[in-house]
Amino acid sequence: MKFKHPILYISKIIISLSLVFGLTACNQVKEETTIAETVSEIYEVHEEGRIYAFYDRALYKEFLSVGETAYRLTRIGTGPNGETMVFGLTKKDKKKGSNTPAVKLYENKVKTAENFYAETIRHGRIYVFDNFSDMKTVRQFGHPNFFYTEIGSGPKGETVVYVLNKKTKKKKPTSLIESFKKANS
């Protein structure tokens, strides 16, 4: 196609480029809207230099009884203190790999839901959380700064440690205790 005037040719190029960049911007907006996904529960088991993380309670319970998961994503040395991270995957999510709820949460690609609930089994104790930030602190340093403990109240007689923070440290965590009992009944 020949253009008689160079201005018409330049105008066509500018229009074409703006359409291309406009479509790219639309795709970026669409991608950002998927970030609204949230995670409502996470379970961890710390043992033998590994941190096993689960976003599905049934899979977590299966791991506790069997000691393995059929499908997992393993990342050697990526834990906060060089531990191997093992993300348990459900059968339907096995091909998603890094695009699963737990991995996305640990990579800060999704946020937690308002009614977030989590458990960590470490050194024979069960730590219970309603805040992922508190969970990260315990994962990194091994213990919480503020907590409420019930000795022998776990399903198998374990000590249960309800993790608190500066805002919640002065009150008995009754709703967290209720959530734990409901999850483990």
Residue 105's alpha-carbon distances to 1, 10, 137, 141, in angstroms, are 52, 47, 15, 19
Domain co-membership, 124 together with 62: no
Domain co-membership, 86 together with 123: no
- Answer yes or no: is 9 within a domain: no
125-129/159-164 β-pairing: parallel
Q: What are phi and psi of 48, to 5 degrees?
A: 50, 45
Q: Which residues pair with 125 in a beta bridge?
A: 122, 159
- Cα 30 from chain centroid? 22
Structure tokens at 132: 């992922």
- Answer yes or no: is 31 within a domain: no
- Cα 106 from chain centroid? 5
Domain co-membership, 105 together with 124: no
pTM for this structure? 0.78
Domain co-membership, 131 together with 80: no
Residue 2: its pLDDT value, please? 52
Tens-binned pLDDT, residue by residue, of the chain (185 aa)? 454 555 544 545 555 545 444 444 444 444 443 446 899 999 999 999 999 999 999 999 999 999 999 999 999 999 999 999 999 999 999 999 889 999 999 999 999 999 999 999 999 999 999 999 999 999 989 889 999 999 999 999 999 999 999 999 999 999 999 999 999 98
- Answer yes or no: is 29 within a domain: no
Give the whole-angstrom CA distance, residue 61 versus residue 54: 10
Q: Which of 110, 129, 161 is the last residue of a domain?
A: 110
Domain co-membership, 102 together with 126: no
Domain co-membership, 122 together with 86: no
Number of domains in the chain: 2
Domain that holds residue 57: 38-110
Residue 36: its pLDDT value, please? 64
Residue 142: its pLDDT value, please? 87
Domain co-membership, 76 together with 122: no
- Answer yes or no: is 5 within a domain: no
Q: 118, 44 in Cβ contact below 8 A?
A: yes
Give the whole-angstrom CA distance, residue 175 versus residue 102: 24
Give the whole-angstrom CA distance, residue 103 versus residue 120: 16
- E strands, 104-157, where? 111-122, 125-129, 146-150
Q: What are phi and psi of 45, to 5 degrees?
A: -130, 125
Domain co-membership, 45 together with 98: yes
Q: Which residues of 20-34 are buried (b: 16+ CB within 10 A; e: fewer)?
A: eeeeeeeeeeeeeee
Domain co-membership, 53 together with 106: yes
- Answer yes or no: is 153 within a domain: yes
- Cα 131 from chain centroid? 11
Residue 185: its pLDDT value, please? 87
Give the 3-state secondary structure of residue 122: strand
